[in-house]
A and B are shown apart, each in its own frame.
Chain A
Amino acid sequence: MSLLEVEGVEVSYSSGATALRGVSLAVPEAGRIAVIGPNGAGKTSLTRLLTGVLRPYRGRLVTGSVRFDGRDLARMSPGQLIRAGISHVPEGRGIIPTLSVEDNVRLVLAAIPRRNRPTLDQALGVYPILLERRKAMAGLLSGGQQQMLAIARALATKPRLLIADELSLGLAPITVRDLVDDLHRRSVDEGTAVVLVEQSATTALRFSQYTYLLDMGLIVHEEDSATLLESGAAHEFFVGGGHDLAPEEPVGSK
């Protein structure tokens, strides 16, 4: 049995739009998978579903099931998800810019039961630069540092599954590479499963073991990441896939 099992999931919004139209995917224990797709493919809805925030966006799960470690995930609140072992690195700068670096981490520590709770220093120590700048307003950090803070915050809960949404958004390619390599190493070392939801195909393929291509709310292709990288199928799927680390490249925009 896989750690996370998404089966035949259909998500629609109260506006009438259907974002996911029967998506199935599986994440094995300690596995790394990528979900890639262009704008409007349904990536955001998928992360919202997996992180328990569909309802605030007036979306709902029409059919299908989401099971994490055998438990039904669809009705869990964000706090329950964290305690169940799922962490979330939100899209873009997933931090609260008006709080200090420390306070950003304190926020998530409060959601963890006391006995499993790391100290503030342990949580910040994931990236030494965060210890150094702990009193600074998070919004004053560089883009890469903000993303580090978001990752450190997600790792503070010692998750079994980390969902990272658009890590590459608005960051320099070199920064993205460092962050992703680092996340790769941590995932291997700690046995943390990761779902990387990305617009940047190269980043995602290099990181993951298995990749799903999402388009128009459907999984249109799935394959071993290494094979996909070699075959160039993802590049056919995307416009300009070879250079998609550059943020100015329009990726399959409709």
Chain B
Amino acid sequence: MTTLTATITDSAVPRTRRRSVRLTLLGSGAALTLALPYLLDSYWLFLASTLGVNFIAAAALNVLQGNAGQFSLGNAAFLAVGSYSGAFLWVQQGFPLPVVFVGVAIAGALAGLIVGLPALRLHGIYLLMSSLAAHFIVTFVASKYQVANFGVAGVPYKAPGLGPLSQDRSKDVYYLIVVVAAVVALLLWNLLRSAFGRALVGVRDRDVAAAACGIAVGRTKLVVWSITSSIVAVAGLLQAMSLGTASIEFYTLGLAISFVAMTLIGGNGSLLGSFVGAIFVTGTPEVISRIAKASGASPFGDSIWSHPFELQRIAYGAAIVLFILLEPDGLVGLGRKLVRLVRRMQRPRREAT
């Protein structure tokens, strides 16, 4: 066997032990996730909710971008599709929550289908341009809808209210997000391991070869656009619930790009990468604003810490450029390299004993 396949399949740690380590990690992670609302104050809980929403949307985008090779700047638009179709179904019409979720998912899928249509003919940067057009069209329509029905202040979102399980708003929203995030992660994880996941890679890397395998290239692209946009729309609904409002100024191009940043920084085409990237992008502004506060710089001063917002943008930009240039597999790729390095250092020692 070649050295490359050897490093993938073979490992110094026995498989059963590795599995039990993994299960323990997963179990304690789940327990911690469920306990968080009782450990954190409301501000940190809100951040955790934001992280969850970001992960949901980033995971979907990562499938579209990393696995299917379809680049999109329509993320803020799809979030807005979710929050504004939610505004109609929930805030205006008062449908029950499950109906709202299904309705929002369908609206997102339809929007994704339409935005994905140019993907049948366009590739790369041209496709990016068409999703950019979608961004401006959707935000324009949404702003008209918002002003006509709710006014400039935005759509007021009430607490989700989980019936007998209901506690307070932020806890309810948090648990809702955790459940959806878990479902989405499982769904995407299985999707990528199915025949459809292989078809996606085929369409991304060799569409002619994929067609030779009987894959309808165009239909595969449309399906992946629909699925991922549907998920992003649901994330948009959850986001509006978490924020307590949907307001059009929120859905900027910068927001759309921040999701691209999550996938590129975390690791293109990796579910774990979406999570790590979401942590990075959710956490960076927090870290920077805390340093800015600690530095004691006046918001009107000349110090660079006087401009935390600009610093955040610079941090994203620099991180994206650095990762694309130095580590295309993102933080996850970096982590794998470190693990491999540690193992290689351990191995000779083990042989010696």
Contact = CB atoms under 8 A, between A and B. Distances in A.
A107 B198 contact: yes
A99 B211 contact: no
A150 B207 CA distance: 14
A111 B211 contact: no
Interface in A83-133: 83, 87-91, 94-99, 103-104, 106-108, 110-112
Interface residues of B, number: 27
A79 B214 CA distance: 4
Given A98-B201, A103-B198, A107-B198, A91 B213 contact: no
B208 interface: yes
Interface string A72-89: 000001110111000111
A140 B198 CA distance: 18
A107 B205 contact: no
A66 B209 CA distance: 22
Interface string B95-113: 0000000000000000000
B325 interface: no
Interface in B205-250: 205-218
Interface stretch (B2-10, B14-22, B28-36): B2-10
B199 A107 contact: yes
B74 interface: no
Contacts of A140: 2, 4
A107 B195 contact: yes
A51 B214 contact: no
Interface in B177-210: 195, 198-199, 201-202, 204-210
A110 B195 contact: yes
A78 B198 contact: no
B202 A96 contact: yes
Nearest to B214: A111
Interface in B9-64: 9
Given A78-B214, A111-B215, A106 B208 contact: no
Nearest to A108: B213
B121 interface: yes
B230 to A, nearest CB: 23
Contacts, number: 95
Nearest to A52: B211
A53 interface: yes
Contacts of B202: 96, 99, 107
Given A94-B208, A97-B206, A140-B2, A79 B215 contact: yes
A90 B2 contact: no
Contacts of A99: 198, 201-202, 205
Nearest to B210: A96
B133 to A, nearest CB: 21
A160 to B, nearest CB: 15
Contacts of B218: 56
Interface string A151-189: 001100100000000000000000000000000000000
A111 B214 CA distance: 6
B121 A78 contact: no
A221 interface: no
Given A56-B207, A99-B198, A90 B5 contact: no
B213 A107 contact: yes
Contacts of B213: 78, 82, 104, 107-108, 111, 153
Nearest to A139: B205
Nearest to A58: B121
A25 interface: no
Contacts of B120: 56
Given A51-B211, A90-B212, A135 B5 contact: yes
A136 interface: yes
B215 A78 contact: yes
B198 A108 contact: no
B206 A96 contact: yes
Interface string A1-31: 0000000000000000000000000000000
Contacts of A82: 213-214
> 4 tightest A-B contacts by CB?
A111-B214, A88-B212, A82-B214, A79-B214
Given A94-B209, A107-B198, 19 more contacts: A53-B217, A78-B215, A79-B216, A82-B213, A88-B212, A90-B208, A90-B211, A94-B208, A96-B201, A96-B210, A98-B201, A98-B204, A99-B201, A107-B199, A108-B212, A108-B214, A111-B214, A135-B8, A136-B2
